[in-house]
Amino acid sequence: MSEYLPTTPYRGTRDFLPPEMSVRTQVFGHLYDVLERYGYQRYDGPVLESAEIYEKKSGQEIADQQLYTLTDRGGRRLALRPEMTPTVARIIAGNAGSLQFPVRWYSHPNCHRYERPQRGRVREHWQINADIFGSESANCEIEMFELIHDLMRGVGASEDMFVVRANDRNLLASALTDLVGVTGEQLPQVFGLVDRWEKYDRETLAGHAEQIGLGDKQFDRLGDVLGAGTALLDELPAAVKDSSNLVHMLATDAADLVRFDPMIVRGLAYYTSTVFEVFDTSPENNRALFGGGRYSDLAGMFTPRQIPGIGFGMGDVTLMDFLATHGLTPQPRSEVDVVVIPVAEELAGAARQVATELRGAGLRTSTPIELRKLGKELGRADKAGARAVVIVGQEDWAAGNVTVRSLATREQQVVPLSGAASALAELLN
């Protein structure tokens, strides 16, 4: 047995080296910019929460199969957060008296689920969450869908690369009970069947339907309902449609932001009406990227005050797969813009002084930690991605000058220290 511990991370988690972090920082920076242009404010919360809030509201799959739980020394059952929505509901409920509703909040938490690692699924992920709390208006749905389109454009996607598919659980419940003959007791199981509809073949689905208690005619009718598209709305009671924000939205000029799809149901237990998922349209990555929906009273776990909400969570794994599929992944940024190289150890202080000036001018600047020969330092600077170097020589420095050199063209010029930043800015531009 080796005396050394393994260098690989725990299965389903990932290490991010600087080039990968550079890509992620660029992508998430674009998303933050879009969210904040819409007026969303960033918040955060603890990675540890009471296990009860997930067992009560996140759905059976997360609570029974995916939750990382522990008991602390005080005997309290805790869980690593698998998602952020119950946490934000708790925060909203706890601070409702000081908030001006509706509020627009976003976060970027680290979440943990005991998944079977595969493409698009890991055990630790980061997720952009955006929520509106305190309004039941259909304008919330419209804003959510506009925001999603702008977020996707923010990372370089064109409209033909993705589609937003939306449904209303109340509309689906009406269709299942009124048109298919599903009983109230069967409804949760049939919702689960609908959620798996595109993942299995017809024979497997029919077997699941039989286990639920649906007859052959009901199963055939269920397939007709799920494939009906917007035509399904003509078969539903007017009262059900009148209470649906999604139906109202589909009657506005925002209708082209989504595609009505009866097969969208979402697996999380707290969604109550509007639900939606964003899909990649590429056949190479034909899958859901992220989704969300409306929850009428998730904050009701913590307060008697009813605070409706709507939101979505955009996971980093599927987003990065999407960018790679469409050739949209940005290139990692270089380590630095400029390296300041002293030609001798006794000029190290002078080099730090120059570097301080350049950093003050907004240039990413480094100096050698262990000085080598000038040729080797130029090679290291080139490998670090620097586009220019500043060479601090003894005679130049004594005269108050430095040498500015382009690594691309190898052209160089001697300039006063006070003019180094502007000379580099011109060179780099």
Query: Looking at residue 57, what is its pLDDT?
Result: 65
Q: What is the mean pLDDT of residues 197-203?
A: 91
pLDDT level of residue 238 (50, 70, 90 thresholds): very high
Query: Looking at residue 58, what is its pLDDT?
Result: 60
54 is in an annotated binding site: no
* Cβ atoms 176, 222 nearer than 8 A: yes
36 is in an annotated binding site: no
What is the signed CA dihedral for 288, 167, 189, 303, rounded to 10 degrees? 100
Tokens of 350: 């002078």
Q: State yes or no: pLDDT of 62 exceeds 80.
A: no
Nearest to 350 by CA among 404, 381, 410, 390: 390
Q: State yes or no: pLDDT of 314 exceeds 90.
A: yes
Q: What is the mean pLDDT of residues 218-237?
A: 94
65 vs 244 pLDDT, higher one: 244
85 is in an annotated binding site: yes
Which of 33-47, 296-310, 357-371 is the least confident region? 296-310
| Structure confidence by residue, pLDDT tens digits, 244-286 | 999 999 999 999 999 999 999 987 778 899 999 999 999 999 9
10 is in an annotated binding site: no
Tokens of 382: 């080139």
161 is in an annotated binding site: no
CA distances from 82 to 32, 68, 109, 292 (A): 22, 8, 10, 15
CA-based Rg of the chain, rounded to a whole angstrom? 28
pTM: 0.91
Query: Looking at residue 60, what is its pLDDT?
Result: 64
Q: State yes or no: pLDDT of 120 exceeds 80.
A: no
* Cβ atoms 85, 311 nearer than 8 A: yes
Q: 18-325 adopts what CATH topology?
A: BirA Bifunctional Protein; domain 2 (3.30.930)
Provide, rounded to the nearest whole percent, the portion of the chain with pLDDT above 90: 87
Q: State yes or no: pLDDT of 153 exceeds 90.
A: yes
* Cβ atoms 250, 276 nearer than 8 A: no
335 is in an annotated binding site: no
Q: What is the mean pLDDT of residues 326-336?
A: 96
Nearest to 220 by CA among 236, 234, 206: 206
Backbone phi and psi for residue 381, each to the nearest 5 degrees, phi listed first = -65, -40
| Structure confidence by residue, pLDDT tens digits, 82-112 | 999 889 999 999 999 999 999 999 999 999 9
Query: Looking at residue 231, what is its pLDDT?
Result: 94
Q: What is the mean pLDDT of residues 348-377?
A: 95
Which of 46-60, 78-92, 401-415 is the least confident region? 46-60
| Structure confidence by residue, pLDDT tens digits, 67-85 | 999 999 999 999 999 999 8
Query: Looking at residue 427, what is its pLDDT?
Result: 85
Q: What is the mean pLDDT of residues 106-127?
A: 90
Q: Residues 294, 296, 300, CA angle at the centre, nearest 5°?
A: 130
End-to-end CA distance of the chain: 56
What is the strand order of the sheet 69-71 is part of? 48-50, 77-80, 69-71
In the chain, domain spans: 18-325, 338-428
Query: Looking at residue 59, what is its pLDDT?
Result: 60
266 is in an annotated binding site: yes
pLDDT level of residue 186 (50, 70, 90 thresholds): very high
Strands (E), 117-273: 124-133, 162-168, 259-260
CA distances from 157 to 21, 27, 371 (A): 21, 12, 45
pLDDT level of residue 64 (50, 70, 90 thresholds): confident
Averaged pLDDT of the chain: 94
84 is in an annotated binding site: yes
Q: State yes or no: pLDDT of 308 exceeds 70.
A: yes
In Å, the largest CA–CA distance within the chain is 93
128: Cβ–Cβ under 8 A, 6 or more apart, which residues? 28, 31, 35, 106, 107, 108, 151, 313, 314, 316
Q: What is the three-class DSSP state of 259?
A: strand
* Cβ atoms 271, 169 nearer than 8 A: yes
Q: State yes or no: pLDDT of 390 exceeds 70.
A: yes
Q: 338-428 adopts what CATH topology?
A: Rossmann fold (3.40.50)
**Does 338-428 match 18-325 at the fold level?**
no
DSSP state of 276: E
CB burial of residue 209 (10 Å; 0-12, 13-18, 19+)? buried
Other C-beta atoms lying within 10 Å of the C-beta of residue 271: 24
Q: Can you state the percent helix, strand and coil of the chain, rounding each to 5? A: 45, 20, 35
What distance in Å separates the CA atoms of residue 102 and residue 310, rounded to the nearest whole number? 11
73 is in an annotated binding site: no
